[in-house]
Amino acid sequence: MNKKSITTKKAPSAIGPYSQAISTGNLVFISGQLPIDPTTGKLIDDTISARTHQVLHNLKAIAKEAGGDLSGIVKTTIFLTDLAVFREVNEVYAGYFPATPPARSTVQVAALPLGSNIEIEAILLIS
């Protein structure tokens, strides 16, 4: 199977040696997204709700570049530095996946790149 790198300027550039996403067959593996504003390249300094919106906008932009949309996401993993914000993250997240939400794991981690408190990765199925 061939793999193809997916890149868009509508989502933040990778901050390390990895691709924004890789497609292989009808699956797209979207790398963990931080709440970085793609126009400034900076982590947004705002509430966890605003940061969650930014992360999901970044995921949406990459999904679109790959030829899909959020409704095709079949699995996400949410990384939080503090599970105390789980409720707020969940409220925002639910708005992006109103019908048949993807399978999901949410874990608390000690730290995330750039001092972020949230990161979300996803697997997208392209029809």
For the stretch 73-108, pLDDT in tens is 999 999 999 999 999 999 999 999 999 999 999 999
At 127 the pLDDT is 85
Q: Are 108 and 81 spatial neighbours (Cβ–Cβ below 8 Å)?
A: yes
Q: Options 3.30.1330.40, 3.30.565.10, 3.40.50.300, 3.40.50.720; which CATH number does 3-125 get?
A: 3.30.1330.40
For the stretch 14-69, pLDDT in tens is 989 999 999 999 999 999 999 999 999 999 999 999 999 999 999 999 999 999 99
The three-state DSSP-derived secondary structure of 100-111 is CCCEEEEEECCC
At 79 the pLDDT is 98
The three-state DSSP-derived secondary structure of 2-55 is CEEEECCCCCCCCCCCCCCEEEECCEEEEEEECCEECCCCEECCCCHHHHHHHH
Question: Taking the domains of the chain in order of start, what are their residue ranges?
Answer: 3-125
At 77 the pLDDT is 98
pTM over 0.75: yes
